[in-house]
Structure 1
């Protein structure tokens, strides 16, 4: 529930710093909420600028979310679930909803750039915060690359329909997918980087335009593809059973990452305590409604066995239904803009996560240096963009999507725990939004995240375990000693 007129958290009696002790105490040292808020926006080389209202924040979350699952992953999920992929979207959406409620409460209470990393730092200690931040690097950074791969598929559809040319497979697909280097994927990441370097306000304006285009493209798809719906395409509705629905839901959860992107803009929002919870919830409602609508029309217009796993599934459906290339070309144009918007906003979120971690001393200072004129962490943006661009050009989409899903689910699980912990340790802290029926809803959100993680393949868990192992090595070798809390203890 929204609570109007609440005072900012920073006005409350400060929480005392945890006592200095042995290794266990150092790993569990927490950063008080008041200190997190007081340091908000301050990097090594300057501060971020508050320039965004609720509408822009909502557009950031929609921009980071809408399009990923529908334009990119739908073609891979339908073969797992059949027509019941609609149920898979609902399951993934419900899982996201419980976590979104927790995000909304914490975003209004701790309005800083670190998102769930900062929430964990304030509630569960530095080691858990590092693990959460490391998961967010996987979630945001790798999803940029995964989405960029799908962007190349639709770019080829657009070029083929308008100019009659396509980018050669060698330059349009990564190794393992019949190519050598995915040049379009690299290009869209570099394009997003150029927008971000111009400033947060300018990037938000560009994103708003792109979100409008992607919504229009999806509505156009529904209107045209609706004419091709055949009732027989919905039967059997669940050909592979609930196991297939669950597996597809875990993969499709990838399409919901991004609703939390607004929380990474906590230090660039004009009124974060009021606007962040609203933006998170509104964006998730809009996205879920559109996802379910488009999925229902898509599986009704094309037999589920014909979904071949192509990342450009919607454009193919438009072509099959109308028998004309023009509609598919128009949809492909919308998808090119839509997916570019996802790349832009998720890349934005990644840079702000690293900004917060750098400010705390857990990663190098270069990531929290802000350019004086634009108010942008410029070096951070360039480094992250180049890393994601190269990753997009070299790794197949399917592997990226599943790796992103497990990192996201783990981070969301921690956010649900953080709400419960903060309610118990700081019960009197003013909250502009409260999770209904707490702690029941956060517990349900936590359990759903674990359930969906269990639906992922063993190889995904192996990749995740290796990623976590690398992260822990980096923390003990670098972050633990250079932490600003560690410096303050000396």
Structure 2
């Protein structure tokens, strides 16, 4: 791969890559860097906070309807695939602690075409995921209002989701540190609620505080739905990669990135599997499926009465808010990184001097997110997000294999993947294979987005030569 100055486009008009400064609403393009303001706690909060929302509060009813009690196995499979990718991703992140995450790693390992497809697909993948989280928030907000005695219907789900999306976009414009502080507080409160609730739920399921209620049939739907459900719920595991998208803002990235990425996967996988076990044991998978997106509220009420329902409603609101906030932050950093390399017009990487945030990228993230949120299509939003991320994860593992083979002079990671080369090979195979278990509609939408991004490469970015890692 030729190593030249970033943003040099030999096709048609050369993008403006010179620094531009304006004093009021000041912006800086090529030479600007985001400040390193996020520590280990913030990194874990982004990873755990993003993953914990859908997996625990939106998916149990949907997953139980598809796979029965064996949905716990679906979450375990998703966690295993995520771990196989998180280990190579952590190595790449410590070698290239730059904003953009998977895009940056793949573009430097596999070249401009792969980088363009992945970078733009990651943008859309995060947009779909964020819209999914916001719709989940809308469902919980409506249930919370109903429980509080405010008579509202499901028609308010989308308006409430849109209001939250606008609010978080504005919050992220006003400063990464503000968004990170909110994320830390939300995740701490959320984990406290979950540990108390799940602790009681496990004791109840085992009969220590009641009668044992373990499900009598673990696989009522058969074994194939376990894999299709794993493909559906994989959206729950996107958070560890979103830590990498803010690598350029992490303090001491060589130490904090691996712990944040791998630690968040392990913590959340245990919470997912425990949640499905508790929910199917206490409530039964058929009833869980009938409750849909807010099934966990009914589980909370069944275990702890009205106090349990209130706790789950609060947890669901916090979790979906946390996921949406972290995803909006990560979406903007993906756009910022692609634009900074001139694969998108470089004005998209401008940084607001007042707040130190990529305000244009945040606008490009927020608009599509709101448009998709308005559709309210929960399953399609989740699966398309999973599809695009799984393709990125597979290519990320391939990029590690290529970089280890070539060992460029600049490649000096602080963390090395254990079990190399078996781990990245298994990570790539598992990621690509899981795509095959998705619904046809989600596969078609995902492939269409990837084809469109390849078309953008040939139209706009074919002449761009990426710089090395500086």
Give the structure-1-normalised TM-score. 0.85
Indicate whether 1:188 and 2:164 are aligned: yes
Look up the match of 2:153. Answer: 168
Instruction: Find out whether 1:84 has 2:70 as its counterpart.
Output: yes
Q: Does 1:152 align with 2:128?
A: no
1:304-360 deviation line (CA, Å, top 9, x unaligned): 1112262111111112334x3332122201211121011011111110010010011
Number of paired residues? 441
The 8 Å contact of residues 154 and 332 in structure 1, kept in 2 or not, is answered as yes
Distance 1:209 1:128, change over 3 A: same
The separation in 1 between residues aligned to 2:35 and 2:179, in whole angstroms, is 13
User: Deviation string for 1:98-137 (max 9, x for gaps)?
Assistant: 0000110100011111111111111111101111112212
Counterpart position of 1:318 = 300
Q: Report what 1:444 is aligned to.
A: 426
Matches within 5 A, 1:277-426: 277-306=258-287, 307-308=289-290, 310-322=292-304, 324-426=305-407
Change (3 A) 1:263 1:478: same
CA 1:309/1:475 → structure 2, altered by over 3 Å: closer, same or farther? Answer: farther
For the Cα contact (< 8 Å) 1:187–1:389, is it kept in 2? no
Offset of residue 46 of structure 1:
3.2
Measure how far apart 1:291 and its partner are. 1.2
Structure 1 match to 2:52: 66
Compare relative contact order (CA 8 Å, sep 6+) and give the higher one, 1 or 2: 2
61, 65, 79: which one aligns with 1:75: 61
Q: Which moved more, 1:243-252 or 1:43-52?
A: 43-52
Label 1:366 to 1:166 Cα distance change in 2 as closer, same or farther (>3 A): farther
d(CA) in 2 for partners of 1:137 and 1:86? 30
Answer yes or no: is the 8 Å Cα contact 1:218–1:294 preserved in 2.
no
- For 1:99, the equivalent position in structure 2 comes to 85
- Residue 216 (structure 2) aligns with: 235
Q: Deviations over 1:128-162 (max 9, x none)?
A: 11111122123211100011101111111211112
String of CA shifts for 1:288-307, please: whole Å, max 9, x gaps.
11111111111111111112
Measure how far apart 1:268 and its partner are.
0.9
Q: Relative to structure 1, is the Cα distance of residues 158 and 90 closer, same or farther in structure 2, using a 3 angstrom cutoff?
A: same
Moved more, 239-248 or 223-232: 223-232
Say if 2:412 is the partner of 1:430: yes
- The CA deviation at 1:422 is 0.5
Does the CA contact (< 8 Å) of 1:83 and 1:233 recur in 2? no
Name the residue aligned to 2:17. Answer: none
> Whole-Å Cα distance in 2 between the matches of residues 97 and 189 of structure 1?
29
Residue equivalent to 1:261: 242
Q: Are the structure 2 counterparts of residues 404 and 16 from structure 1 closer, same or farther at C-alpha, using a change threshold of 3 Å? A: closer
Give per-residue Cα distances to partners, 1:355-392, cap 9 Å, x unaligned: 01001111122320001121101122123113202211
> Cα distance, 1:413 vs. partner?
0.2
Q: Which residue of 1 aligns with 2:175?
A: 199
Match of 1:35 in 2: none
Q: Residue in 1 aligned with 2:23?
A: none
Equivalent in the alignment of 1:475: 457
Match of 1:54 among 40, 43, 51: 40
Number of the residue aligned with 2:24? none
Q: For residues 372 and 240 of structure 1, what CA distance do their matches in structure 2 show?
A: 56
Distance 1:464 1:268 in 2: 29
Please give the per-residue CA displacement for 1:395-439, whole angstroms capped at 9, x wherever unaligned: 411111111111111010011101110100117742211111211
- Output one character per residue of 1:48-88: Cα deviation in whole Å (capped at 9) or x when no partner: 11112222112111112112211112211111111111111
What residue number does 1:208 align with?
Answer: 184
Task: Give the TM-score, by structure 2 length.
Answer: 0.89
> Among residues 437, 440, 445, which one is paired with 1:463 in the alignment?
445
Using the TM superposition, name which of 448-457 and 140-149 deviates more: 448-457
Does the CA-based 8 Å contact 1:110-1:119 persist in structure 2?
yes
Q: Is the 8 A contact 1:138 1:403 kept in 2?
A: no
Distance in 2 between residues matched to 1:467 and 1:249, nearest whole Å: 22
Gaps of 5+ in 2: 5-9, 12-27, 206-210
